Chain A
């Protein structure tokens, strides 16, 4: 890669940086500051109430487990898709490649109603599944499924460039030294892919943790059973329980920050390894 030159002579730096910082502060930072201030105002009673509220705990647990399952599913399917898209040539390849971004561009509420209708008890896929006793919609399985849909672009788009950049000569070298195809894949390719794979997983996990639109229709929304944490935040807001909502929102926010920080660390490491 070409080294970047310092472009101190170009004009417009103060203006463009000023516009960026002003917009960032007004649109993003001031609202987040409000949450920080509200969290500081929380008293011990509210915190203890939230931390021991069985409904809140159940919602956080459900969000964590379904987001984890969804991210794992997205990583598995995404791994297969990235491999096939980069390594093989087949009919409809370009179309499949373009479709991967659909969950990123499609409004979440529409994904939600489409998945619910599709997998619901009278849907194209839900009806045959219900006949064999598998219920997807209105169960945690349905939530995880919606999060697989949502996480798919993250998994595929983080793996694809790394797969493309792998030097085929390394595989040839391993093979010429007597490694079979399975050894080459497991011991040469896989270690190179793991950081990017984990990055995609973490991004999908963080996204799934806070997801509302695509989950709220398929989840059924029963307290203690199929109520995810963002929905509980919404419910608390509607009941004017701002303190409880703030506590839960702050927890969600901290969890996603930690996950995204981990993802960017991983990404930096895989970029270093690739250089």
Chain B
């Protein structure tokens, strides 16, 4: 892309300096913390690593986190697909307002997000009466953890799908419709397969963030070990007990999930670039 025209690029020494600086910054800021997670996790050897992962409290946290992900991701995926279809394929009044509302959770501090649930279900909460009448426990129990995570991860699938669906246009869907396909058939056979990679990345990002949510969950979880602790909360407790290698061992699971997520994103983007070049 760069021509050899001297005015369009920098002299080689400047280029080398800038690339060197960029690599150093990435090394210091991103690679070292990442390497440290695995180095600390494996510091006491593989047996200790697996022992830390198979502690009852860690397993209970893993189970609760899996439960949260299994509830949150399907709900937010359905909402995200609906938003992708309504906002990606149609124009209507108030659309940009709706997009901003979907993005709202990004603007909310995780701690404040958790606090919202305390205001709803806490001692003086607005919905406390209704919940008590039904005999449910929400706050400081798994339901509140699920609700807080739903709130925080609400935008992820929608934000991936809206632009993807928009950029794909509506011609294929219209053709399918003319040929007699119903809504769900169009969605399943045309729209979603076309947007598959965007959807996949959105779902994986939503899963990674749901599994790793800390601030909001920290406010509404009861912090009862083995019962209302998710993986990140277990990491916090282990770390505060100075059991560093156990903390990093549990952390390495979530770090692995984050790595899978960014690799998938790189793959999605490489595909999109190839697609653009062909078109």
Residue in B25, B113, B183 whose beta carbon sits within 8 Å of that of A77 in the complex? B25
Q: How far is the CB of B139 from chain A (nearest CB, A)?
A: 11
Residues of chain A lying within 8 A (CB to CB) of residue B33: 111, 114-115, 118, 149
Tally of chain A residues near chain B (CB < 8 A):
103
Q: Are A19 and B78 in contact (CB under 8 A)?
A: yes
CA distance A31 to B124 in the complex (A): 14
Interface centre among A97, A103, A213, A230, by most chain B C-beta atoms within 10 angstroms, is: A213
Q: Are A11 and B182 in contact (CB under 8 A)?
A: yes
- Tally inter-chain residue pairs, CB-CB below 8 A: 315
In the complex, the chain B residue whose C-beta lies closest to that of A175 is B7
Residues on B facing A (Cβ under 8 Å)? 1-3, 5-10, 15, 18-19, 21-23, 25-26, 28-34, 36-37, 40, 75-76, 78-79, 81-83, 85-87, 89-92, 98, 100-113, 115-120, 122-126, 147, 150-151, 154, 158, 166, 169-170, 173-174, 177, 182-184, 186-187, 205, 208-209, 211-215, 218-219, 232-233, 235-236, 239, 244, 247-248, 251, 254-255, 257-259, 261-263, 265-266
Residues on A facing B (Cβ under 8 Å)? 2, 4-13, 15-21, 23-24, 27-32, 34-35, 37-38, 77, 80-81, 83-85, 87-90, 92, 94, 96-111, 113-115, 117-118, 124-125, 148-149, 152, 168, 171-172, 174-176, 179-181, 184, 206-207, 209-213, 217, 230-231, 233-234, 237, 240, 242, 245-246, 249, 252-253, 256-257, 259-260, 264
27 pairs of residues in contact across A and B, judged by CB atoms under 8 Å? A4-B169, A11-B186, A12-B85, A12-B183, A13-B86, A15-B183, A16-B86, A17-B90, A20-B82, A24-B101, A27-B150, A29-B101, A32-B104, A34-B120, A105-B259, A107-B211, A107-B213, A107-B254, A109-B235, A110-B255, A230-B109, A242-B118, A246-B119, A249-B111, A252-B109, A253-B108, A253-B109
